[in-house]
């Protein structure tokens, strides 16, 4: 019998404003689009909702503004089953928003105005210590200040917790990798971390190994979109084949993968099977529009895996 997954996610919460368009516009270009959707997003909130829908007990540490976007974000996250006790309402900054274009192939382009996310502080992390103490896995991304990420890693390691880092967006300054157990970049982010391009699973395999050796993390999981993922540790490399689906919107697929992987790890699953599970969850997320609204439930993922 698997153990209950208890997870803390420290990260961003945004309102996503999504416009469908035949193609992503170039510089200076106006494209007449189609459907407009406003939904809840932000990498931290997305990953928290993904984990909660997959059966984890999740607490989100975040900041939103004293505005309608913040109120709606908390209500939506709470409805998904995430503990919102440590979401701070900021008196001086608005809630974060993301402007997203999604083209006819399901590919996307995103601009984020972080708002209150940029004010999530190390003190907010310290205030959430009880949640850290109750969890087994701490999940982080980089839409919040790096000193807050660093403090979350320090607290997690002081308490003996597993740290999962999705290094997105990749910052210009060095990442706080000391204490990270699993790093989960996509192929673009891995290339940025390593300083060279990655064009497919074979190169992703080499990149995953290089990330482990260069960054000193316990494991690297490089996602390669529909082609799957590569899992590397110091002594083993595994290629996780992709799942074929008709992609509608890839906006939060990476966040779904991270939340699912963290859930599987927290349940005691080995890293290879955990990546298989996460890959299936992310594939399902691509078949639906939106960020948090696209996250699949546990029974859907298990049925999808069962269909092979």
Q: Using CA atoms in the order 39, 43, 47, 53, what is the torsion angle rounded to 10 degrees?
A: 0
Please, which residues have CB within 8 angstroms of residue 259's CB and are 6 or more apart in sequence?
9, 46, 47, 48, 49, 50, 51, 54, 56, 139, 281, 295
User: Among 276, 201, 283, which residue's Cα sits nearest to residue 240?
Assistant: 276
Which runs of E-coded beta strand occur in the chain?
A: 6-10, 14-20, 36-41, 57-65, 87-90, 96-102, 108-113, 137-140, 162-165, 182-183, 219-223, 228-232, 237-241
* Residue whose tokens read 């999530």: 120
What is d(CA 242, CA 200) in angstroms, rounded to the nearest whole number? Answer: 12
Secondary structure of 165-213 as H, E, C letters: ECCCCCCCCCCCCCCCCEECCEHHHHHHHHCCCCCCHHHHHHHHHHHHH
- CA 224 distance to own-chain centroid: 15
User: Among 129, 185, 184, which residue's Cα sits nearest to residue 161?
Assistant: 129
Q: Annotated catalytic residue: which of 16, 83, 181, 255?
A: 255
Buried b vs exposed e over 126-161: b needs ≥16 C-beta within 10 Å? eebeebbeebbbbbbbbbbbeebbbbbbbbbbeeeb
What is d(CA 207, CA 93) in angstroms, rounded to the nearest whole number? Answer: 38
DSSP 143: S
Active site residue 91: no
| Catalytic residue list | 255
């Amino acid at each position: 019998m698997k153990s209950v997954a208890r997870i803390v996610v420290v990260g961003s919460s945004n309102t996503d404003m999504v416009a469908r368009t035949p193609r992503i516009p170039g510089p200076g270009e106006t494209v007449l689009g189609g459907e407009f959707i406003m939904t809840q997003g932000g990498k931290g909130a997305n990953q928290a909702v993904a984990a909660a829908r997959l059966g984890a007990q999740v607490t989100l540490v975040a900041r939103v503004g004293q505005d309608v976007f913040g109120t709606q974000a908390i209500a939506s996250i709470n409805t998904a089953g995430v503990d919102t006790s440590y979401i701070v309402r900021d008196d001086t900054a608005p809630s974060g928003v993301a402007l997203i274009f999604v083209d006819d192939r399901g590919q996307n382009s995103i601009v984020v105005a972080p708002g209150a996310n940029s004010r999530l502080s190390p003190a907010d992390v310290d205030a959430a210590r009880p949640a850290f103490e109750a969890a087994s896995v701490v999940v982080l991304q980089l839409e919040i200040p790096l000193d807050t990420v660093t403090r979350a890693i320090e607290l997690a390691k002081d308490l003996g917790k597993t740290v999962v880092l999705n290094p997105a967006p990749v910052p210009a300054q060095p990442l706080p990798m000391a204490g990270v157990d699993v790093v989960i970049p996509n192929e673009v982010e891995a290339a940025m971390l390593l300083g060279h391009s990655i064009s497919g699973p074979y190169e992703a395999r080499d990149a995953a190994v290089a990330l482990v050796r260069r960054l000193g993390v316990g494991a690297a999981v490089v996602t390669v979109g529909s082609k799957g993922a590569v899992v590397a540790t110091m002594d083993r490399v595994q290629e996780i084949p992709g799942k074929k689906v008709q992609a509608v919107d890839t906006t939060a697929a990476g966040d779904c993968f991270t939340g699912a992987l963290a859930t599987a790890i927290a349940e005691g699953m080995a890293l290879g099977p955990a990546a298989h599970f996460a890959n299936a969850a992310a594939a399902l997320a691509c078949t639906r529009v939106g960020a948090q609204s696209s996250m699949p439930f546990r029974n859907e993922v298990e049925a999808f895996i069962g269909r092979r």
